[in-house]
Amino acid sequence: MNLRKLGLFFSRLFVILIFQFSFSKYQMREPPCHLKRDFSSTYTKEGDIVIGAFLSLYENAELQIDKKSFKYPPLWKAVESYYMLKHYQHFLTVQFAVDEINKDPHLLPNISLGYQLLNNFHESRLAVENSLMWLSGKGPTIPNYSCDKKHKSMIVIGGMSSTLSMAMATLLGLYKVPQISYGSFDLLLSDEVLYPYVYQLGSRESTLHLAAVQLMLHFGWTWMGLVISDDLTGEQFSKHLKEEMAWNGICLAFIEQVSDKLKYEGDPIKFLSRILGSSSNVIFIYGNTDSLKFFSELLFAFPFYGKMLVISASWDYSADSTGEMMSNFHGILIFSQFKREIPGFTDFLKSVHPQANPEDIFLKSYWQIVFHCLLSEIKNLNITFRQCNENLYFEDVPTIYFDKTIMELSSNIYNAVYLLSHSLHQMLQTEIKDLSELLAYPFLSWKLHHFLKCVNPVTGFKPEFCGDGPSMTPEKYDILNFRSLPDSIRTQVKVGEVIPHEKVLSINEEDIDWPEDFPQIPSSICSVACGPGFRKQFREGQPICCFDCTLCPDGKISNKTDAEQCTQCPEDHYTSKEKDRCLPKTITYLAYEETLGMILASAALCFSVLTTFVLGVFIMHRDTPIVKANNRSLSYILLISLTLCFLSSLLFIGRPTPVTCILRQTTFAIVFTVAIASILAKTITVVLAFRATKPGSQLRRWLRPAVSHSLIFICTLIQMCLCSIWLGTYPPFLEMDTQSEVSFIVIQCNEGSLVTFYCVLGYMGFLALVSFTLAFLARNLPDTFNEAKYLTFSMLVFCSVWISFLPTYQSTKGKTMVAMEIFSIVVSSAGILICIFAPKCYVILLRPDRNTLEILRNKANH
């Protein structure tokens, strides 16, 4: 606010200096007290009430002021005639609107409107001087004095840019003259303290950032460049746009500000290199024609190849252009808020001709420039100019000089004329009944302010608009596509529209002509989208739109594009190979139908049949010396227990149930304990038999079968107690293993208490170790059939298998763990069967000649 007040102070100081300059002229010249002024730069149409229109047609090129500039007289460049010729449409819009209102019998009846058109050459100094002229009336320009006895001018339309509006408001505001600014909306002018009598009809574009983001989301543009004007409006738009973009996951690749400082003190080459070197292919440009003038010059000199431009209609990029330069803008998209048709304007243009309006100096000047001819013959010159053809009309004006369609500023001017007319109409109906009463007081125009705030420029008086002023926010934007076609044809085609607050965007992509660098819809992203199965891994220190794609880990998926996190699959599902979906797991177990289950079951059955066969052989040859010599009762018990060991492995195959989970380990533990206890009894019997060879030895009583049977019973009873404790505390139970195999749910038995389980296995290992030790010590005893050696080998095989089983059992899961235990049961049992009974069966079945008492005695003597 302090900066604004300071700016207002210097502006008013500038006005005072002009006053002093005028007074100095008044003192030096005859007649005194006025500044003689040439009114040839104005065109007036008389009426009961005259509207002052401060417009811009040509442009003076201003010099940059520095310290050296004050040492020399000011130097003004010649007017650039081709500049701003398109803005002659503004002059015609005022004339058309005034003529239309004068023909309306309901609006301002019995009152004629006139207009005074003033060209300020788009320069603040001339805008202030024109304001002085307008206040003083025709004739001498005297500050604070009007020479017109009847001052018909009460209201002003002017200010194509905020700079011009501020310059005019500094002077006109002293007299509370209402000023309608038809340029782009500017936040500085909306300050009711500094500019209380300025009304802006330019669209606020308060929802433009929402519309822009909707367009970005539609085309997938997540990596945008932004060029804004270096003013308060540009800063506010940038703030709102960045917030909305961040909310929708869109990032800014760069933000560049355009200002006069860049033109005179900055480095345009670096400015361009930052834009052209950016990886963003789409650039949004925000600002008005005046603030982006230097940027327009850069675009004409250095076309932005490989960049797609999206702009707001507040920037008239064609204002300073020639036909060749307009091809640089082919394919751009434009957000526009106003209706582009004014009924009857095209027909009005047909009636506009210098012959029909000979006093219109602006039309005459414009006509001669655009057609490169003269309307009147110039004599006494060595150079001959072409005379203008009388059959030329506005439809013959080249498109580079005139737009056949109504542009936004012209639409604002049209609405401004109607706003003033409706306000005058309401004021004359309510407060002032007679026009003469209104014109009796030259500056009674301050009474219009209340009505300007309470009038809709289109529909007239509506109380609900009071206090809001005439400028209202439109609800939707049209999306236009600019096309530069051969034969200098330039057109803007509506390709869609967007309603920002409702987040509704409709666009016909087939109707869009993209820039030549883009054969299809442009892409503007920092990183390629992560497909299903991947997640975004953001790069440190970079915007969220810049990321790497990482494959989801096992057990997690992403089924959408650009997923930030991978989703965990349910336990009964597993991830597909592409990690993009969860698949239901198949329930599995070690079944008889499987190859592995079939092999193990067949092996267990074969060995059980083989063991039964051996038992049968021993029973059939129970009276032979070799069977008797090896304690046949223990052999029977061992063979029966081995048969049960082979058969117990079948409890591990097939679909587990709670019953089989309890039986499988306990049955295996008990029958194996019986087998090992039998081997231990046989080993002890061999050792004692050798020690009890002397007559009358006390050890002979330990060789009785009852002792061996008691040993087996005690060892088995201890194992049964351990199993009872196991089942009574934490028994095995059925569980679903979802982790062991990726695509399967393994139905298996949990051992429950691992401590008790390993105690059971340890007890069997202890018995085996004792049997192995005793057999190893007795391996060289002169036993008839050397059974101690066979027992040693059998225990060696048994211990080796189960020692290897323990680490393997810990490292495997699921069906493999079950298969390993079955394999260990079968192999260890088979090892005992083969090592102990194979030699005996060989003698019994194949060498019966050696199964005699004489042979046994001869071997014993040796």
> Can you list the domains of the chain with their CATH numbers?
2-64+74-204+355-360+405-465 (3.40.50.2300), 208-336+475-511 (3.40.50.2300), 534-584 (no CATH), 595-861 (1.20.1070.10)
- Whether cis (ω within 30° of 0) applies to the bond prior to 31 is yes
Check residue 414 and give its pLDDT. Answer: 93
Check residue 17 and give its pLDDT. Answer: 37
Closest C-alpha among 819, 663, 824 to residue 732: 663
* Tens-digit pLDDT profile for residues 95-140: 999 999 999 988 888 888 999 999 888 888 888 888 888 887 665 5
**How far apart are the C-alpha atoms of 799 and 818, rounded to whole Å?**
19
Burial readout 327-361 (b: 16 or more C-beta within 10 A, e: otherwise) = ebbbbbbbbbbbebebeebeebbeebbbeebeebe
Main-chain phi, psi angles of 852, to 5 degrees:
-130, 160
**How far apart are the C-alpha atoms of 204 and 474, rounded to whole Å?**
8
* Tens-digit pLDDT profile for residues 538-554: 888 888 889 999 999 98
Strands 223-229 and 251-258 come out as parallel
Q: Once rounded to an integer, what is the mean pLDDT over residues 388-401?
A: 83
Check residue 854 and give its pLDDT. Answer: 64
**How far apart are the C-alpha atoms of 488 and 520, rounded to whole Å?**
24
Stronger pLDDT, 63 or 851, i.e. the higher one: 851
Most confident of 149-153, 279-283, 570-574: 279-283
53 bridge partner residues: 117, 157
Q: Do the beta carbons of residue 50 and residue 153 sit within 8 Å?
A: yes
Q: Do the beta carbons of residue 203 and residue 16 sit within 8 Å?
A: no
**How far apart are the C-alpha atoms of 119 and 127, rounded to whole Å?**
8
**How far apart are the C-alpha atoms of 480 and 491, rounded to whole Å?**
10
pLDDT band with cut points at 50, 70 and 90 for residue 474: low
Mean pLDDT of all residues belonging to the chain: 80
Q: Do the beta carbons of residue 204 and residue 473 sit within 8 Å?
A: yes
Task: Give this prediction's pTM.
Answer: 0.66
Q: How far is CA 809 from the centre of its chain?
A: 49
Placement of tokens 């909707």 in the chain: 214
Q: Once rounded to an integer, what is the mean pLDDT over residues 78-107?
A: 82
**How far apart are the C-alpha atoms of 372 and 354, rounded to whole Å?**
14
Check residue 141 and give its pLDDT. Answer: 58
Stronger pLDDT, 689 or 784, i.e. the higher one: 689
**How far apart are the C-alpha atoms of 654 and 667, rounded to whole Å?**
16
What is the chain's alpha carbon radius of gyration, rounded to the nearest angstrom? 53
**How far apart are the C-alpha atoms of 590 and 598, rounded to whole Å?**
9
- The percentage of the chain sitting over the pLDDT mark of 70, rounded to a whole number, equals 80
pLDDT band with cut points at 50, 70 and 90 for residue 319: low
**How far apart are the C-alpha atoms of 476 and 111, rounded to whole Å?**
36
**How far apart are the C-alpha atoms of 317 and 328, rounded to whole Å?**
10
End-to-end CA, the chain: 127
Q: Once rounded to an integer, what is the mean pLDDT over residues 735-740?
A: 83
pLDDT band with cut points at 50, 70 and 90 for residue 405: confident
pLDDT band with cut points at 50, 70 and 90 for residue 31: very low
Q: Is the pLDDT of residue 6 over 70?
A: no
Check residue 76 and give its pLDDT. Answer: 43
Q: Do the beta carbons of residue 211 and residue 477 sit within 8 Å?
A: yes
Check residue 67 and give its pLDDT. Answer: 47
* Tens-digit pLDDT profile for residues 201-236: 887 888 899 999 999 999 999 999 999 998 888 999
Q: Once rounded to an integer, what is the mean pLDDT over residues 15-34?
A: 39
Q: Is the pLDDT of residue 743 over 80?
A: yes
Q: Once rounded to an integer, what is the mean pLDDT over residues 475-492?
A: 82
Six-digit token pair at 550?
């990482």
Query: Residue 690: what residue type?
Result: F
**How far apart are the C-alpha atoms of 19 and 15, rounded to whole Å?**
6
Check residue 321 and give its pLDDT. Answer: 56
**How far apart are the C-alpha atoms of 515 and 509, rounded to whole Å?**
13
Most confident of 125-139, 178-192, 682-696: 178-192
Rama region for 312: left / alpha / beta (φ>0; ψ in -120 to 50; rest): beta
Q: Determine how many CB atoms are found less than 10 A away from the CB of residue 602.
A: 11
Check residue 788 and give its pLDDT. Answer: 72
Closest C-alpha among 609, 589, 744 to residue 653: 589
Give 340-343 contacts, CB < 8 A, sequence gap 24+. 340/405, 340/406, 340/407, 340/411, 341/405, 341/406, 342/93, 342/96, 342/406, 342/410, 342/411, 342/414
Q: Once rounded to an integer, what is the mean pLDDT over residues 462-466?
A: 49
